[in-house]
Structure 1
Amino acid sequence: MIDGQGRPPTIATRGMVATSHPLASAAGLEVLASGGNAIDAALAAAATTWLTLPGQCGIGGDAFAVVREPDGRVWTVNGSGYGPDGGTPEFYRAQGLEAIPLDGALAVAVPGAPAALAALHAGGASRPLPELWAGPARIAERGIPCSAKTRDDVADAIDAIGADPLTRAVFTDGGRVPIVGQRRPQPELAQTIRLLADDPQSMYTGELAQRCVDALIAAGAPFSGDEWCAGGDVEPEDAITLRYAGTVIHQTPSPSAGWMVLHQAALLGDDLGLVPWLSVDAVDRMVHAARVAFEDRFALCGSDNGGIAQILDPARLAEQRMQLADDPVTEREFAVTGGDTTSLVVVDDEGRSVSFIHSLAFTFGAKFSVPGTGIVLNNRLGRGAYLIDGHPNEVAPRRKPLHTLNAWVATDDDGGLVSVGNTPGGDGQVQWNMQVLSHLLDHGLDPQEAVAAPRFTVFPGSDADVVGAQPRLRVEDTMPEGTRAALAERGHDVRVHPAGAIGGSAQVITVDPGGFLLGGSDPRQEGVALGLE
């Protein structure tokens, strides 16, 4: 099969890597080619994206992964951080705030990425981190030429970046948008990467951790330091699962949004494959399922209140399926925005797979850098936590805000690998992951077709900064015009966007009936799937 971009899927037999940047894919493939496993390759590729996609991810962000072992066992890591110990609603309101800021020290949660990477490494890597991260450290030291993607990311956030002298010095040209090809060495970041490779816990205890906490406190954030130390405690967890279209979908658990993919799958049921692909009936059903998931997230979910178990209760799901069949939901007011995240997938020659995703939340996170480290910190607290009295996701001391990140793997009933994938894109992630899964499992598209297919997005969802925005259905102009018109006739406020403007960078690897690996990398970004024959 050939996708809409004219590109066939990548085919391999001995391993494959798909990421959103060619250098990251090459870094992972080099590890596989030299005998490393999928976890080794994912760790090398992830650290490379700190340099190739610095607006999307970094040491100061969060990360999640789901791993499928050769024996069929599936496990996950959850690298999401706590809010500050002094982060009470009263603290923020005393600053005259109606919402947690999106930029600066008050937006920051404890970074979970280093702890997640350490747990991933401990769970099954075959090579030491100093070896796997030597390449990224060298790239940071020398500097990587600015790409068009990074230039555009800086342009999008130039005002906020300019407000922080350290971030401004690294990523701008004297406060101006950098020129593509301009090389900017980051020796402090290189030193930090080497330090973390030797001891990932140094992000949470010791001199590096103290630098982070001191910088935040000096800027007015209510961290005690104790919550920072606690953020380094990440252990493997079981995946959450649901049967869909003859497979078992394994997803990352709370506070990841993985449950929302399972929620949509449960509402759609096993007969979506009987509905023509991208027809008005298929899109309409998926849109309504997404709206229900976002409504339930906003109404019921915090990271620590049990709301997800309530939502995924089989009896409740059955009732919601009946309600959707009889009276589809109308558009309600809550919000979805894009996100700046990057993700990757790897499969090795033993059939071990890794789906990995990491993020700073918004572009360049809080636009707040820690002196002497090269670390840009996330704005996950500002993006994810609410200042809404009594809400289960209300900001609270030592509470993790709800997350947009999620990663998945699909297996057969015996644990055999069927497909592994993910996508960045804020609250678009859970929608686009469901769409890609349906393309693959319901309609038989190959991975490249699935990641390049016309995309649609329920807006709004539930990000803190846009709760209450006017509802829309955003569709790419590659969706058939007849489908768009029919959706409008059914009452959707359809807004058409150029192909690629909605966002996302989906990565997928599947196993075909002959045992070949087929890979697809989203043409909406610069990524590529590479394999070993």
Structure 2
Amino acid sequence: MTAAAHRPPTMATRGMVATSHPLASAAGLQVLASGGNAIDAALAAAAITWMTLPGQCGIGGDAFAVVSEPDGSVWTVNGSGYGPDGGTPDFYRAQGLTSIPLDGPLAVAVPGAPAALAALHAGGATRSLSELWEPAARIAERGLPCSAKTRDDVREALGSIQLDNNLSQAFTDSGRVPLVGSRRAQPELAATIRRLATDPRSFYTGELAERCVEALTLGGAPFSGDEWQAAGSVAPEAALSARYGGAVIHQTPLPSAGWMVLQQAQLCGPELGMTPWMSADAIERMAVAARLSFEDRFAFCGSDNDGADRVLSPAAVSEGRVALASRSVGSREFTVTGGDTTSLVVVDDEGRSVSFIHSLAFTFGAKFSVPGTGIVLNNRLGRGAYLIDGHPNEVKPRRKPLHTLNAWVATDDAGRLVAVGNTPGGDGQVQWNMQVLSHLLDHGLDPQEAVSAPRFTVFPGSDANTIGKDQEIRIETTVAAETRDELRRRGHAVRDIAPLGEPGSAQVISVDAQGFLLGGSDPRQEGVALGLE
């Protein structure tokens, strides 16, 4: 759904919000309407999505953000945590494992979301977290009618949810898939939200932290508690930035995958903007750039090395552009999988923007909850870390696993906002963000056109759990049949996907030459973009 708000030269608009759920968009807009800024609105909307999209995000997940300020400065918040201090490769192999499990305590990394939200709040919020999160706490207290999306998420993870009494009580009808409209209160979660709003650090120290660590260690995960406390401090960081399409793209740094968007942009180069929109040449150029980026991620990158700097160097980009021109991609085998994540964007009346994204990794994360708290824990360690000897992303104490989440802001050379956006979707994120940026900057699509445009996804990517799949390009059939046939003729394995059938839920707000704010929310989910005068 599209929204627009005009910014006359002498009077600013109140702003705009785009999220993957109408209630979250409305919550953010209400904060803006009452005088809050973009950071306030993002924090309020994020808490609402804990309730409206509980399979995608929560207190027990991770979170990243990019903030552009009215003065042109840009900063990021990166909230992800470590695996257990005892989680050495030998620990997992001694249990007969060849990869880290995706469910249960062994899948969990220390959640970074509470620390990230606290850092975002400290970076410029004008209202207390208690005020901003109280609407979410009230919803948890009385329960929210189950949506079709949540019903489908529960169905997907039902077998594992049934093994966790707290999850089963919160999200099923006596162990069965819930009916749309059914309502279950979560008073323990309401109490946790209010507690963290008063003191987000209490997630990492004290009684609540001890309760989380105890639940995990009883389940066999070798947490010491020290790594839990160490993840609780997040400081703002500089963005990664690169030019593309006449704008400067600012992205979240490692362990985020933001560098991959910048690499693809530089590999595609200005030639992509001179190529007909959604033609075989354009799709092939972006698809091969994505494959090169995934190969580099798998070959070189960890969260604590210089692999991203290496592949973004001018020499490496030049080498990659030669490989792209010859459509020459190596033969490493690994694959993209979907992700269960949600994201939002906000612009306020001063021109400040926030791109925010948070996730449990897969649907309902590790399907493991902390008794008495309502907290569902992520499975980011199982999803993100490798059990491959000597790999830069091999599981290791105090090494954060590589992350799929990333968020972006585009500015002009003077630091003025051009657009802000993001999308959930696992390893699809870096591809779809690149596609949306090309739609906006190369071809002049408005945000709603850009997020609604036909989507394609390169497989394989590099998630830890899906090594060894065949290469293919999945393309929605709203791409012309002759274009898909031409890609097949060129030797690509093309899988046809129904219109709007690819995952993701892209959100974009842009500023046009006349000072209008334009917003778009992906029709692949149930979101909405809302603006105010």
- TM-score bracket for this pair, using the shorter chain length: over 0.9
User: Where does residue 159 of structure 1 map in the other structure?
Assistant: 159
In structure 2, the residue corresponding to 1:157 is in which secondary structure? helix
Equivalent residue for 2:176? 176
- 2: CA distance between counterparts of 1:96 and 1:161? 25
CA distance in 1, matches of 2:509, 2:2: 13
Alignment correspondent of 2:189: 189
1:292 deviates by 0.2
Matched, 1:466 2:428: no
User: Which residue of the partner structure matches residue 126 of structure 1?
Assistant: 126
Q: Which residue of 2 aligns with 1:505?
A: 505
The residue that corresponds to 1:294 in the other structure is: 294
Q: What per-residue deviation string (whole Å, max 9, x for no partner) do you get for residues 145-203 of structure 1?
A: 00000000000111111121211111111110000000110000000000000000000
Shift in CA distance, 458/102, structure 1 to aligned 2, threshold 3 Å: same
Which amino acid in 1 is paired with 2:509? I
Q: Deviations over 1:34-70 (max 9, x none)?
A: 0000000000000000000000000000000000000
> Is 2:24 the counterpart of 1:24?
yes
1-structure distance, mates of 2:357, 2:233? 19
Partner of 1:100: 100
Letter in 1 for 2:336: V
Q: Secondary structure at the match of 1:269?
A: helix
Partner of 1:219: 219
- Could you tell me whether the CA contact under 8 Å between 1:9 and 1:446 is conserved in 2? no
Contact 1:56 1:360 in 2 (8 A): yes
**Aligned equivalents of 2:262, 2:39: Cα separation in 1:** 25
Match of 1:307 in 2: 307
Cα separation, 1, equivalents of 2:224 and 2:280 = 53
Separation in 2, partners of 1:374, 1:53: 14
| Corresponding residue number in structure 1 for 2:348 | 348
1:4 corresponds to which residue?
Answer: none
What corresponds to 2:274 in structure 1?
A: 274
Match of 1:321 in 2: 321
For the residues of structure 1 that align with 2:61 and 2:4, how far apart are their CA atoms?
A: 30
Structure 1: distance between partners of 2:256 and 2:200: 22
SS of 2:270's equivalent in the other structure is: coil
The 5 Å alignment of 1:367-446 reads 367-446=367-446
1:81 and 2:87 aligned? no
In structure 2, stretches of 5+ residues that fail to align are 7-12
> Residue 485 in 1 paired to residue 505 in 2?
no
Q: Does structure 1 conserve the Cα–Cα contact (< 8 Å) formed by 2:4 and 2:516?
A: no
Q: Is 1:336 matched up with 2:336?
A: yes
In 2, distance between residues paired with 1:472 and 1:99?
Answer: 24
Q: Is the 2:2–2:529 Cα contact (8 Å) retained in structure 1?
A: no
Mapped partners of 1:456, 1:294: distance in 2: 16
- C-alpha separation in 2, matches of 1:524 and 1:326: 34
Matches within 5 A, 1:232-251: 232-251=232-251
Residue 240 of structure 1 contacts residue 252 of structure 1 at CA under 8 Å; is this kept in 2?
yes
- Aligned-pair identity (%): 76
CA distance in 1, matches of 2:432, 2:451: 9
Look up the match of 1:519. Answer: 519
Q: When the two structures are superposed, what TM-score results if normalisation uses the length of structure 1?
A: 0.98
Alignment CA distance shift 1:154-1:426 (3 Å): same
More displaced 10-residue stretch of structure 1: 495-504 or 77-86: 495-504
Matches within 5 A, 1:441-452: 441-452=441-452
Query: 2: CA distance between counterparts of 1:218 and 1:263?
Result: 43
- Residue 117, structure 1, aligned to residue 117, structure 2: yes
CA deviation vs aligned residue, 1:292-311 (integer Å, no higher than 9, x gap): 00000001111001111111
Say whether the 8 Å CA contact 2:72–2:416 is kept in structure 1.
Answer: yes
- How far did residue 332 of structure 1 move? 4.9
Counterpart of 2:258, as a letter, is: G
Greater shift in the superposed pair: 435-444 or 331-340: 331-340
d(CA) in 2 for partners of 1:508, 1:177: 33
- Whether the aligned pair in 2 keeps the contact of 1:332 and 1:471 (CA below 8 Å) is no
One-letter identity of the residue aligned with 2:456: F
Corresponding residue for 1:532? Answer: 532
SS of residue matched to 2:170:
helix
Q: State the secondary structure of the residue aligned to 2:127.
A: coil
* Number of the residue aligned with 1:142: 142
* Greater alpha carbon shift after TM alignment, 497-506 vs 9-18: 9-18
SS in 2 for 1:372: coil
- Per-residue displacement from partner, 1:313-368 (whole Å, max 9, x unpaired)? 11111121123213432675211000000000000000000000000000000000
Q: Which one-letter code corresponds to 2:454 in the other structure?
A: P
Distance 1:347 1:480, change over 3 A: same
What root-mean-square deviation, in Å, do the aligned CA atoms of Structure 1 and Structure 2 show? 1.0
Provide the C-alpha distance between the structure 1 equivalents of 2:73 and 2:248, rounded to a whole number of angstroms. 12
Instruction: Name 2:10's counterpart in structure 1.
Output: none
| Partner Cα distance (1:449, 1:130) in 2 | 37
Deviation for aligned residue 1:8: 4.8
Change in 2 beyond 3 A, CA 1:148/1:327 = closer
Instruction: Output the CA distance in 1 between the equivalents of 2:489 and 2:330.
Output: 13
Q: Secondary structure at the match of 2:334?
A: coil
Stretch deviating more after TM superposition (190-199 or 479-488): 479-488
Look up the match of 2:208.
Answer: 208
Cross-structure match for 1:49: 49
CA deviation map 1:425-464 (0-9, x unaligned): 0000000000000000000000000000000000110001
Return the alpha-carbon distance in structure 2 between the equivalents of residues 207 and 477 of structure 1.
53
Map Cα deviations across residues 272-294 of structure 1 (whole Å, 9 max, x no partner): 11110000000000000000000
Aligned residues: 527
Q: How far apart are residue 254 of structure 1 and its match? A: 0.1
Shift of 1:9: 4.8
- C-alpha distance in structure 2 between counterparts of 1:203 and 1:29, whole Å: 28
Provide the secondary structure at the position in 2 that maps to 1:341.
strand
Q: Cα deviations across residues 61-116 of structure 1 (Å, max 9, x unaligned)?
A: 00000000000100000000011100001101111111100000000000000000
Aligned residue number for residue 228 of structure 2: 228
Supply the distance in 2 between the matched residues of 1:500 and 1:159 (Cα, whole angstroms).
28
Task: Determine the C-alpha separation between the residues in 1 that align with 2:384 and 2:79.
Answer: 15
Determine the C-alpha separation between the residues in 2 that align with 1:316 and 1:136. Answer: 46
Distance 1:467 1:293 in 2: 16
Matched residues in 1 for 2:490 and 2:160: separation? 41
Deviation at 1:15, TM superposition (A): 0.3
The AA in structure 1 aligned to 2:532 is L
In structure 2, relative to structure 1, the CA distance for the partners of 1:217 and 1:330 (3 Å cut) is: closer
Read off the aligned partner of 1:17 and give its amino acid letter.
Answer: V
Matched position secondary structure for 1:309: helix
